[in-house]
Homo-oligomer: A and B are copies of this chain.
Amino acid sequence: MPVCVVGSLAFDTIHTPSGAATEVLGGSATFFAAAAAYFGPVRLVGVVGEDFPARFRAQLAQRQVDCAGLETKPGRTFRWEGRYSADMNSRETLRVELNAFGEFEPTVPASYRQSEVVFLANAAPRTQRRVLEQMERPRFVAADTMDLWIETAREDLQELLGRIDALTINDGEARQLTGHTNLYTAARTILGWGPRAVIVKKGEHGAICVTNDGSSALPAYPVERLVDPTGAGDAFAGGLCGHLAERGAMGLAELKRGLAYGTVCASFAVQGFSLDGFRNVTRHDIDERLERFQAMLAF
């Protein structure tokens, strides 16, 4: 079954200890779509400016991402510039230009409205909700968020949490949202607000997942040549949602395997700038790494 993602597309300028990249294709929807496309059809809802180049569109088209929902507005595309710390566990935003993304009022094309798996990538909770209201009968809805919305739109966010199946959130943001330092306690608190799964992303330390059936944790897949962590969390969500859609089932077993696929997708994403980490990576490579991950965790 198809996956629908709504989120940002951006020009990223990135500085990491491994190097730098200037005005490359980025954005939450981009990374999600690239990962999810390994598992089946992906429908993208987003907005770009008139400067969004044909070569960026070609990168999405080449991955069979349906861009019927990609709107072009007058003016420039969203731009983000950031610098990562020496250990790449934290980053500083040097520049943000929302541009076309600033007043994003997504319209979900009629051809997308029956998508059964939906990912609401990081956007204002109110925008995420408007998208959700346009979907006809989604079976699994996951959302991401960020510190900005926790600070400025907490009520909208809590309201959204009552309407989704899963939240993906960074460790720092989970602590900020709940006031709990223990991540399991924080995740359980969020669980109480509505979703049936809370997935806390910990970067190089992997992820934890809390549901009403219990807590679990997965390490990150070992990556020795880390180039750029940008997009890892969205690629993670892409692998997770992609697997659920491919399986056509959303039980605990599928969720667990989806988290592992997400971990593997994230491990490819961080091996290059922009979508370079996925260059020449086939579905076979994804499955091979999943098997190695599985063997690594068996004892």
Nearest residue (CB) in B for A259 is B299
In the bound complex, residues from chain B placing their C-beta under 8 Å from that of A184 are 222-224
Nearest residue (CB) in B for A261 is B299
Name the interface residues of A178-192: CB closer than 8 Å to any CB of B.
181-185, 188
Nearest residue (CB) in B for A175 is B87
Q: Is A139 an interface residue (CB 8 A)?
A: no
Interface size on A, residues (CB 8 A): 37
Is A219 touching B222 in the complex (CB atoms < 8 A)? no
In the bound complex, residues from chain B placing their C-beta under 8 Å from that of A298 are 256, 294, 297-298
Choose among A183, A259, A297 the residue with the greatest number of B CB atoms under 10 Å from its CB.
A297
Q: Is A177 an interface residue (CB 8 A)?
A: no
Set B215, B220, B223: member contacting A224, Cβ < 8 A: B215
Which of A120-128, A153-161, A202-210 has 4 or more CB atoms under 8 Å from chain B?
A202-210
- How far does the Cβ of A181 sit from chain B's closest Cβ, in whole Å? 4
- How far does the Cβ of A78 sit from chain B's closest Cβ, in whole Å? 30
Nearest residue (CB) in B for A256 is B299
CA distance A204 to B186 in the complex (A): 14
With A216-B297, A217-B219 known, 11 other A-B pairs at CB within 8 A are A87-B182, A182-B224, A188-B224, A206-B206, A206-B217, A206-B219, A216-B222, A216-B296, A217-B221, A219-B219, A259-B299
Please name 30 pairs of A and B residues whose Cβ atoms are closer than 8 Å in the assembled complex, sorted by A. Answer: A86-B181, A87-B175, A87-B181, A88-B181, A182-B224, A182-B226, A183-B204, A184-B222, A184-B223, A184-B224, A205-B219, A206-B219, A208-B222, A215-B222, A215-B224, A216-B297, A217-B219, A217-B220, A217-B221, A217-B222, A217-B296, A219-B219, A253-B299, A256-B298, A257-B299, A259-B299, A260-B299, A294-B299, A297-B297, A298-B298
Give the interface of A toward B (CB within 8 A). Answer: 17, 86-88, 175, 181-185, 188, 202, 204-206, 208, 215-224, 226, 253, 256-257, 259-260, 294, 296-299
